[in-house]
Structure 1
Amino acid sequence: MRGTVVLLPGRGEHPGLYARLGARLAFDGYRVVAVASGEEVVGELRGSPVPVVLLGSDTGAIGALALAAELPVHAVVAAGLPLSADAGADRSWEGELDARSACPSHRALLAGNDRFRRGALFSEPAGLPSRLPPSPVLVLHGSADPVAAPKAARAFAEMLPAGRFVLVEGGRHDVLNDLAHRSVAAEIVQFLEWLRAGTRGPVLVRG
């Protein structure tokens, strides 16, 4: 195993909605565990292959940042950080689907899943933690995210001691499960490989 990715879902979601992403990261040799709470994260840290990275979406990203400030993890991937809200958002079921993802497969998964909580996306998220992790943070955000403005996510990444911001062109709020999910997964894998190599940039081979 090349490392461990502990995934924290966002509002209304559950770990089972991330099987596609988990399979993609596992194909590249990473152990992937999706959890429902911070307590489960602590349990997963014992004996896990390193590096250990917390990957969160929406409020799961906020939770990942908070946990990384307290726990011995190596990095964070924060996707769709809910740092701003659109008061005029369409709160119908179709509006929620449109806000979350344009991927037909993921939309069908959400529509047919009885564990998914409809409407939760429009609940008030918790704010950023008072302490932020010193470890590297990859911030992923969709350019067409109607839930949280990309500008706020970029500004947040720029103030981190080791932040990297990636804007997903055309991406909606759930960039991990949107149309560009393969490219987003590849970006995460590159980030994980940089961690293993001890580098901070995209150059994997020099010579």
Structure 2
Amino acid sequence: MSSEPAAVFTPPSRVRGTLALVAGRDESAAVYRRFGSRISADGYAVGVFGTADAASGWLAAQDDAPRVLVGSDTGASAVLTALTHGDVADAAIVAGVVVDAERTPTDAERTACPVHLGVLAEQHGAHSEGDVVASLPAPADLAAIAVPVLAVHGGADPVSPFAQATEALSSIPDLEVIETVGGLHDALNDASHRSVAASIVLWLERLRAGDVHEPVIRRAVPAREQGAAA
């Protein structure tokens, strides 16, 4: 089993951090070409892997921090399991967390994005190490995760309903959740993929600044609105 990434997306200039992404079921590296290209354009290197072991090993060897594990679908379960085993990353991003690993999604349940539907249709049947069924760690194990975790989940996910998924993740001590409004299972590649990528970059910038809870930018209230509120 290779520890080399199936694909690497490199920033055009200075590297601001490193992401190692673990694919989910029936996913090749091609599924994350759009995501990797967009995140790398903002300065973060992205490697795509079939297993969490390979992703963790590669991430540990990278010089550019923060080092972030990313997982989608069963890849998210694998990432969270890796985090329960020790200090393998500075943070993690999980998308489309699976609450029932036996529930296999159709393409129509995964995304409403026509471009992503085309990518899925092209790569079906391609070998993917991410096809191993992985379950979420137990709540007590999730409670031991010591790094910040960003969860991105579709508000209308028919595979892992939003309420069930967020409840399953609620034991993680440092958890931030983003809901894609009306979104389906492939939260990184659904119709809202641009907004999701932008939100991830904002979170990464906060993480890189040293405190993921401290905003880098915020909405200022114009004076006319302050006067109206008074």
TM bucket (normalised to shorter chain) is 0.7 to 0.9
Identity of aligned residues (%): 35
Amino acid at match of 1:75: A
Query: Could you tell me which of 180, 186, 190 is aligned with 1:168?
Result: 180
Match of 2:3 in 1: none
Per-residue CA deviation, residues 9-59 of structure 1 (Å, 9 max, x unaligned), is 111112221010000110000010001123322133213311000110011
* Residue of structure 2 equivalent to 1:6: 20
Q: Deviations over 1:149-170 (max 9, x none)?
A: 1002222343321000111101
Tell me how far apart the structure 1 counterparts of residues 201 and 60 of structure 2 sit (CA, whole Å): 20
Structure 1 pair 39/126, CA: closer, same or farther in 2 (3 Å)? same
Runs of 5+ in structure 1 lacking a partner? none
Structure 2 portions without partners, runs of 5+: 1-14, 221-230
Q: Which string of whole-angstrom CA distances, capped at 9 and with x for unpartnered residues, describes residues 127-183 of structure 1?
A: 325623210001111011010010022223433210001111011000111000000
Structure 1 residues 169 and 183: alpha-carbon distance in aligned structure 2, compared to 1, 3 A threshold: same
Alignment of 1:78-89 (within 5 A): 78-84=94-100
The one of 51, 56, 59 aligned to 1:44: 59
Q: Is the 8 A contact 1:77 1:138 kept in 2?
A: yes
Counterparts of 1:56 and 1:26 in 2: how far apart (Å)? 17
Report the CA distance shift for 1:161/1:114 in structure 2 as closer, same or farther (over 3 A).
closer
Give the CA deviation at 1:116. Answer: 4.2
TM-score by length of 1: 0.85
In the alignment, the residues of structure 1 paired with residue 113 and residue 124 of structure 2 have an alpha-carbon distance, to the nearest angstrom, of 19
Q: Aligned partner of 2:118: which letter? A: A
1:127 and 2:140 are equivalent in the alignment: no
* CA–CA separation in structure 2 for the residues paired with 1:182 and 1:140: 13
Give, as a single letter, the amino acid of the residue that structure 1 aligns with 2:99. L
1:23 is paired with a residue of what secondary structure? helix
Matched length: 199
Larger Rg: 2
Distance 2:29 2:111 in 1: 17
Distance 1:127 1:154, change over 3 A: closer
For 2:141, what is the secondary structure of its paired residue? coil
Q: Which deviations, in whole Å up to 9, do the C-alpha atoms of 1:92-146 show, x marking residues without a partner?
A: xxx71111110000101111225447xx99x964232562321000111101101
Residues 127, 65 of structure 1: alpha-carbon distance in 2 compared, 3 angstrom cutoff: closer
Is this contact kept in 2: 1:61–1:79, CA < 8 A? yes
Aligned with 2:45 (options 19, 31, 36): 31
In the other structure, the counterpart of 1:67 is 82
> What code does the residue aligned with 1:11 have?
R
CA–CA distance in structure 2, aligned partners of residues 15 and 100 of structure 1: 16
What does the per-residue CA deviation read over 1:34-92, in whole Å, with 9 as the maximum and x for residues that have no partner?
011233221332133110001100110011111123243111101000114797xxx7x
Residues 51-200 of structure 1 aligned to structure 2 (within 5 Å): 51-69=66-84, 70-84=86-100, 96-116=106-126, 125-128=134-137, 131-132=141-142, 133-200=145-212
Work out the CA distance in 2 between the residues paired with 1:202 and 1:15: 33
Distance in 2 separating the partners of 1:126 and 1:20: 27
* Structure 2 length-normalised TM: 0.77
